[in-house]
Structure 1
Amino acid sequence: MKIIHKIDHFLYTIFPDITDNENIVKILEEYYTYGPYKPKVKIENGFVIVEIDIVSITSQEVDFKKAISFCENGSFSEAKPLLENLIKQNPTNSECHRIIGQIYSDEGNQEEAINSLIDALRWDSKNAYALVMMGNIFAKYKNDIETAMKYYDQALIAKPDDNITINNIGANLLQQHKFEEAKKYFHKALSLEGKYPNTHYALAMIANHEGDLNSAFYSFIQTAKYSNKNDFFYKKGIEEAYQIANEIFKEKTGKNIFRKFRVFLEQKSGVEIDIIKDETILTAAKIEFAENHDREKHIVKFKDTVPAYEHLIMHELVHLDFVLDAQEEENNLLFTTTQQHKNIFLRNIDSSLKKLKQKGISEAGINTYGSGLFSGISSLIFNAPIDLFIENLLYKEHPELRPYQFVSLMNLVQDGLKAVTDKQVLEFTPKEIISDTKIYNLVGAMQLKNLYAVDFISEYKASKIEMDTANKFYKEFLEYSEDKKPGEEYELVQHWADDLKLNDNFELIGENQYRQRSNVDSFIDDLSKNPFGTEEKDPIKEKKMETFLESQKEIGLNMAVVMFMGGALKFFEEKNKDEIKKIAFEIAMQGTQGYDPNIKNYKLSSIPNQTFSGYQILAYYYVSWSIAIPEMLGQLQLPFDEEYKLALTMFKK
């Protein structure tokens, strides 16, 4: 066998009898002589090489494994004689010396432990476990950190890529309250493996000791993120992070975060923002946009009795920021509900309302209950998708807010959990409303798990369909979040409501269009300048047109439209140009919000006693303008040029 030692200070540490290079050969020859076998010792290029002509005794393997088994079971008294006999027969096995050294240390005999570990290192100077154990003994029992560090540094050289060995070195130093020394090893371990929870936990403990609460919070969260839910470090990471967050709250720095952001938004919008405590509001926080309340200022209202309310204020301010960005692009949408929407909703849950009546609930109570359900589901439809984008931005761009966000989101998700698992709620609430609510709330719970490792998902007891839908929604959000553009959050509002068949509960309307139609003078002025909406920038209309055009590309030549155009050509044959123009104007006026090919009950006062399908009225739209106002036909953006050519060939006399 061949043993190689580098000639450096460590060689002098494990062979203290070596005084200089002159007696290296002599000392090593004496130590490595085994029975009649004398080693060859030579020095080459800064290394001393020891060659021993000895055949390993293979019969030792059984006893060696048996000794290890005894040690693993804590039977050191049975392992010790086996190891001593093995060493007597063949001292070349470094691990035998290392294990018996561990036994001596556990027995409290540190001197004998050191002697055995030195022997282990003499036979294998890169035995990392022996090196770490030597460092541990000198740090823990000798309080000799300088010597301990020599052995730890050698362990780093022996196993430079073993994060667990390096982490264990740091852990021992941490136990000795040698924080600065420990940090060196933990950071090295983390650079090798960033997902080892033990290392994150240790760094969190050090940061907490040093008073760096934000770093401690971050590391405790990382501890939980990289642990399994049932592991010690998962539970401990969440618990400690929560305690640290509450310590941070005591410093009262949260106000500085939202005050700074408020100044930014005021400069961006040119409108002042008031932040007012109000315990009478129904939610924990809300924003009142100036233009919606005919005020000169935006107002954020909040309850300071809610934990981490600073996060909720920031949440509302970011919502305002989203609106400002969408307004800049002229594609901001308003979520509107009418009595008609509410009536449709109440009709859909009529059977549940009747059950309440049978239980003796008053008509007023039932009305209040139904209105509350409508408000609640409407709020979820609009806010759940947008909230995901807001929280994502807060997490990425405002790391100083994370302790507040962590506590606040935990409370919100737990409230959402209660809303779909409380027995009383389940008894009276329609199953479809519970299911839809559960899906929306599950998506929020998925984000909490993704950001902060806190996992409430299984507690929702969702069905496979509910879980699949929530996963689909969250995946769609993640795809959008990679490069979200202003106003795109409204697409998820609509998509998810469509998937859950909740689109009868509301309408998304372009803000500019809504405000123009709310102001009579403005509406009339706009109507006189642009009577058919061809120059009006309407995000809803543009999106519908984009979708429609894409669908037409897939269809190719639409024969249904060709046939409807044939009917229109025949109908207009008997009309003069002014009559056709009147019909064209009415179709255009009615179509300012766009026509849906799937709707089949359009009516026109200029063509009484007739009901039009979506494609039929689009055909009449195209043909009437082509005949009466051909110079403006291109502005309609109707993709039926080829259909019209074919219709002229087939039906024009």
Structure 2
Amino acid sequence: MQIFYQRSEFLKKLFPDIDLHNDDQLKLAIKEFYKHGKLIPEVKISGDSIEINISDEFFKEDPAAFQKANLLCQKRKFSDARPFLEDLIKRHPTISEYYRTLAQTYEEEGSHEEAIDILIDALKWNPSNHWALILMGNIYIKYYKDVNTAMTYFDQVVESDPNNYVVLNNIGGTFLQLGKLTLAERFLSKAFKANPKFPNVTLGLGLVNFQKGEFRTAFDFAIDTFKNEEHVEGPVFQKALQLALDSAKSLVKQQVGKESLVDYIQEIENLTGKEVRIEEDSTISTAAKVEFAENYGRDFHLVKTNPKYPNTDHLIAHELTHLKLAEEARKGGVNMLFIGKDSKLEEFKKSIQGTLKKLEKRGIPESSIFKYSKDLFKGILSQVFNTPIDLFIEDYLYNHFPELRYVQFISLYQLNVEAHKAVNDPKIIDLSPPDILTKSRIFNVVYARHFETLFGIKMEKTYSIRPFEKEQIDAFWDEFSEYRNDREAGEEYELVLHWGEDLELDAYFELVDEIEYRSQNRPSSKSPEDVLTQIEQDPMQMDSYDEDEAEELRKFQEQHAGKDINMAVAMYMIGALEYFKGMSTDKVKEIAYEIAMLGRTGINPKKKGYKLNKIPGTSFSGYRLLAYYYVSWAVAIPEMLKELQMPFDKEYELALTLFNH
């Protein structure tokens, strides 16, 4: 066995009564301590290096007896453990850890002087005993406020094992508790260099920076801690969560991100060509909502925020991004409108009849049950539409507005906590239809998983998920991941449609092409042509119009009677012209080719339910598809139009006249 020392302040602490520069005196003192019976240790001194050689037979141990003593210490029965340890030292006086454990029994009971004397012996037998060095340093700090002496022992740890991040972290943590931020950062930085993924270290550095007022750095270290800590319910994770929230709130209080938000509002106004107004509204059922100018007949967009949710800047930025995505899709001619089918409410109520009967048996008023059904219907449809789009929105905000990340974090955390409660609270579970609860949980977990990819919070682990739910969640996540980094304008609607179909909720909503929808739902005060564009399923029906509109339509039909014109095709052609307006020729050509491929097997004018990959989320009747077929070729490949031999030339001439009117 070899023991090494350097001629240093540390050695002076172990042998305080000798002159370190007197080699003869130093050798004598060392031999006196380490001799055992007739065996005398060999001591070599070369410059400042001291080497002690002792026969290995002196270093025998008794693990079983030491384990008994340790078990008593774990139960905090220090007085009971002490006799075992003293006996071990008497029989095996060369084992450093026996001394260290005995010293700790005294320190735990406040007898720090006895602990120091015993720790001196522990360190003489093993100068690299990290836990003995740390305990000695802690005692000098705790009882004597002697940082310099403590540093003598702590520095010995660094010298003996500079990569022991656990030990370095413990030293840094000690200084942190004392408010010695410079020393805490010194040791925690060394620990971080040795292992930057050790969560205790990143938490410590985050706390140091928070106390220094470096809130951005504190927040970043808290996020690193989330990403590296697996025990969500453990103290490290929970302290990091509080640190992240406190750091973010401090930054938000300093108005960090406000300038970015103002610039973003201006960007959206320039993009859409309309003013953006913002107001509070405590009556809305969500944290925030945006009212598109086009949907409300206004010349401005209106963002409403619920004062219940304080993280307004993020909520506003989120709704602005809804506007941005819609406008980008609109400019590409691919924007879709999500329309809930209120006519399907009764059908929805039948699907949750068991829950409604339960409420009825509990004496819940019929009016309340109706409201509950309607709110549940709207709520699940809101998740169908918003969940996939919100994933893209939060990605965009995170990547393009780093100064808004702090309020984004606070806001998303609150929303995720509420989402978790909505599907895990026993009272809510008891009053919710199991099928709808499952579908809502799937959406919420996908949302939680996305939150983790941004900020590291492992909220998915807090959900109880059944295997089939996990399978659906993974499928949704995989599909989102395919689009995530190279999404094209309007592709988010494909996820809305697919996820709605996968959860069998598509019967309750439809995605319709915005251009065509608006052309078919124009106000009726201008001309018969405007009225005609409202026709969708049957261009010749008049049931959905008021008397004035019906009269305008009748006059228009009389004007064109006897001209062998298929009015249904003509009206659908107007919708097609609206849809292709502003679209590149190449894109129209792709649609033309797809319809042509579909047409090889024949297109039945009376059939419904035709689908096109290039126009996702839209269902076509036969006549409507024929109209798109003709117009797409007329627009993109006019030289080949005659080859189609479609008898709709007159319809197209009429459609052009009305479209350009």
TM-score of the aligned structures, taking structure 1 as reference length: 0.72
Contact 1:331 1:538 in 2 (8 A): no
Cα distance in 1 between the residues matched to 2:400 and 2:472: 29
Q: What's the CA shift for 1:313?
A: 0.9
Asked if residue 320 in structure 1 is aligned to residue 323 in structure 2, the reply is yes
Aligned position for 1:455: 459
Secondary structure of the residue aligned to 2:440 is helix
**C-alpha distance in 1 between matches for 2:369 and 2:90:** 90
- Per the TM alignment, residue 155 of structure 1 is displaced from its structure 2 partner at its CA by 0.7
Whether 1:186 and 2:176 are equivalent positions in the alignment is no
Superposition pairs for residues 345-494 of structure 1, below 5 Å? 346-347=346-347, 349-350=349-350, 372-416=375-419, 432-448=435-451, 451=455, 453=457, 455=459, 463-494=466-497
Counterparts of residues 90-489 of structure 1 (less than 5 Å)? 91-216=93-218, 219=221, 226-238=229-241, 241-242=244-245, 251=254, 253=256, 255-266=258-269, 271-327=274-330, 330=332, 332-337=334-339, 341-344=341-344, 346-347=346-347, 349-350=349-350, 372-416=375-419, 432-448=435-451, 451=455, 453=457, 455=459, 463-489=466-492
Contact 1:18 1:27 in 2 (8 A): no
Provide closer, same or farther for how the CA distance between residues 72 and 318 of structure 1 changes in structure 2, counting only shifts above 3 A: same
Partner of 1:307, secondary structure, is coil
Q: Tell me what 2:649 maps to.
A: none
Shift of 1:156: 1.9
Q: Distance in 2 between the 1:111 and 1:51 partners? A: 30
Conserved 8 A contact 2:256-2:404:
no
In 2, the alpha carbon distance for the partners of 1:117 and 1:201 equals 30
How big is the shift at 1:499? 1.1
Q: Deviations over 1:371-427 (max 9, x none)?
A: 655543332221111112222333454454445334433443454456556889778
Amino acid paired to 2:138: N
Instruction: Check 1:546–1:8 CA distance in 2 against 1; reply closer, same or farther (3 A cut).
Output: farther
Secondary structure of residue in 2 paired with 1:92: coil
Checking the alignment, whether the CA contact within 8 Å between 2:519 and 2:578 is kept in structure 1 is no
Letter paired with 2:158: L
- SS class of match (1:160): coil
Separation in structure 2 between the aligned mates of residue 530 and residue 141 of structure 1, nearest angstrom: 85
SS in 1 for 2:58: coil
Mark the CA change 1:256 to 1:189 in structure 2 (over 3 Å): closer, same or farther: same
Question: Residue by residue, what CA displacement relative to the aligned partner does 1:406-464 show, whole Å, maximum 9, x if unpaired?
Answer: 443344345445655688977887654444333323322443455463637756x6554
CA contact (8 A) 2:65 2:84 kept: yes
Post-superposition shift, 1:318?
Answer: 2.4
Q: 1:258 to 1:31 in 2, by over 3 A?
A: same
2: distance between equivalents of 1:140 and 1:198?
A: 22
Letter of the 2:343 partner, please give it.
N
Checking the alignment, whether the CA contact within 8 Å between 1:420 and 1:438 is kept in structure 2 is: yes
8 Å Cα contact 2:610-2:620 kept in structure 1: no
Superimposed CA distance per residue, residues 349-374 of structure 1 (whole angstroms, 9 cap, x where no aligned partner) = 44658978999999998887766555
Which amino acid in structure 2 is aligned with residue 304 of structure 1? P
State the alpha-carbon separation in 2 of the partners of residues 361 and 182 from structure 1. Answer: 60
Give the Cα separation in 2 of the matches to 1:124 and 1:186: 25
Q: One-letter code of the match for 1:171?
A: G
Q: Is the 8 A contact 1:308 1:407 kept in 2?
A: yes
C-alpha change, 1:593 and 1:487, in structure 2 (3 Å) is: closer
Alpha-carbon distance change, 130 to 526 in structure 1, aligned in 2, over 3 angstroms = same
Distance 1:214 1:309 in 2: 20
Distance 1:538 1:365 in 2: 54
Measured at CA, do residues 282 and 111 of structure 1 come closer, stay the same or move farther in structure 2, by a change above 3 Å?
closer
Q: Which residue of 1 aligns with 2:51?
A: 49
- C-alpha distance in 2 between matches for 1:287 and 1:443: 23
* Rounded Cα–Cα distance in structure 1 between residues aligned with 2:589 and 2:344: 27
AA aligned to 2:30 is L
- Please list, as runs of the form range in 1=range in 2, the aligned pairs for 1:506-585 lying within 5 A after superposition: 506-511=509-514, 536-537=583-584
Residue 133 of structure 1 deviates from its aligned partner by 1.6
Cα separation, partners in 2 of 1:188 and 1:393, compared to 1, 3 Å: farther
Partner of residue 2, structure 1: 2
- Equivalents in 2 of 1:307, 1:346: separation in Å? 37
Q: Which runs of 5+ in 2 are unaligned?
A: 523-528, 534-569, 646-661
Would you say the 8 A contact 2:352–2:433 is kept in 1? yes
User: CA separation of 1:301/1:30 partners in 2, compared to 1, >3 Å: closer, same or farther?
Assistant: same
Match of 1:497 among 490, 493, 500: 500
Could you say which residue in structure 2 is the equivalent of 1:568? none
Contact 1:224–1:235 (CA<8 Å) still a contact in 2? no
- Alignment of structure 1 residues 54-73 onto 2, 5 Å: 55-56=57-58, 58=60, 60=62, 63-73=65-75
State the one-letter code of the partner of 2:480.
F
**Counterpart residue identity of residue 19, structure 1:** L
Task: Indicate how the Cα distance of structure 1 residues 89 and 634 shifts in structure 2: closer, same or farther if over 3 A, else same.
Answer: farther
Listed as ranges, the gaps of 5+ residues in structure 1 are 553-557, 566-582, 606-613, 637-653
CA 362–181 in structure 1, closer or farther in 2 if over 3 Å, else same: closer
Contact 1:445-1:457 within 8 A present in 2 as well: no
Q: Is the 8 A contact 1:346 1:370 kept in 2?
A: no
Secondary structure in 2 aligned to 1:335? strand
Post-superposition shift, 1:60?
Answer: 5.0
3-state SS of paired residue (2:52): strand
Q: Is the 8 A contact 1:290 1:299 kept in 2?
A: yes
The residue type equivalent to 2:170 in the other structure is N
SS of the equivalent of 1:311 reads helix
Q: State the partner residue of 1:578.
A: none
Cα deviation for residue 152 of structure 1 reads 1.1
CA distance in 2, matches of 1:395, 1:311: 11
Q: Identify the residue that residue 640 of structure 2 maps to in structure 1.
A: 631
Kept after mapping to 2: 8 A contact 1:286/1:300: yes
Give the SS at the match of 1:474. helix
Aligned counterpart, 1:648: none
Which one-letter code corresponds to 1:438 in the other structure? R
Q: Deviations over 1:484-531 (max 9, x none)?
A: 44433222112211212333434434555556666769x999969997
In 2, the alpha carbon distance for the partners of 1:484 and 1:198 equals 38
SS at match of 1:141: helix
Letter in 1 for 2:38: P
Residues of 2 paired with 1:445 and 1:285: CA distance? 19
Q: 1:143 Cα deviation (Å)?
A: 1.2
Is structure 2 residue 2 aligned with structure 1 residue 14? no
Deviates more, 1:486-495 or 1:242-251: 242-251
Are the aligned partners of 1:541 and 1:594 in contact in 2 as well (CA < 8 Å)?
no
Over 3 Å counting, the alpha-carbon distance change for 1:281 and 1:544 in structure 2 is farther
Q: 1:491 to 1:99 in 2, by over 3 A?
A: same
Q: Is the 8 A contact 1:307 1:407 kept in 2?
A: no
